[in-house]
Amino acid sequence: MDKILVHGGGKLSGTVRISGSKNSALPILAAALLTKERCVIRGVPDLSDIHYMLTILSSLGCEVERASGTVSIKAEKIRTEAPYELVRKMRASVCVLGPLLGREHEACVSLPGGCVIGDRPIDLHLRGFAALGAAVRVQGGNVKLFASALRGNTVNMRGTHGTTVLGTDNVIMAAVLADGITEIRDAAEEPEVVDLANFLNSMGAKITGAGTSHLTIEGVKELHGTDYTVIPDRIEAGTMLVAGAIAGGKLTVDHVRPDHLAAIIGPLRDSGFHLETSARSVTISPNGATKPLHLETSPYPGFPTDMQAQMCALLVRAPGVSVVTDRVFPQRFMHVAELTRMGAQIKLSQPTAVITGNGHLSGAPVMASDLRASAALLLAGLQAEGVTEINRVYHIDRGYEHIDEKLNDLGAHIERVQA
Can you name the residues that pair with 212 across neighbouring β-strands? Answer: 210
Cα 13 to chain centroid, rounded? 26
Which of helix, strand or coil describes residue 389?
A: strand
CB atoms within 10 A of CB 153: 18
Torsion of CA 86, 109, 236, 327, to 10 degrees: -130
Pairing of strands 365-367, 387-391: parallel
Interatomic CA distance for residues 106 and 101, integer angstroms: 5
**Residues 116/91, Cβ–Cβ less than 8 Å:** no
The HSE-up count of residue 340 (CA atoms within 13 Å, CB side) is 12
Backbone angles phi, psi at 160, to 5 degrees: -60, -40
Could you give the C-alpha distances from 306 to 300, 322, 329, 355, 399, in angstroms and in order? 11, 18, 10, 18, 11
Terminal Cα-to-Cα distance of the chain (whole angstroms): 6
Report CA torsion sign: 271, 165, 259, 185: negative
**Residues 75/35, Cβ–Cβ less than 8 Å:** yes
Pairing of strands 320-326, 352-357: antiparallel
Cα 258 to chain centroid, rounded? 17
CB atoms within 10 A of CB 69: 17
**Residues 29/22, Cβ–Cβ less than 8 Å:** no
| The one catalytic residue among 95, 108, 115, 312 | 115
Interatomic CA distance for residues 130 and 32, integer angstroms: 23
From the number of C-beta atoms within 10 Å of its C-beta (0-12, 13-18, 19+), residue 327 rates as middle
Report CA torsion sign: 132, 136, 141, 142: negative
The HSE-up count of residue 285 (CA atoms within 13 Å, CB side) is 8
**Residues 48/394, Cβ–Cβ less than 8 Å:** yes
Backbone angles phi, psi at 123, to 5 degrees: -55, -40
115 assigned to active site = yes
Report the catalytic residues: 115
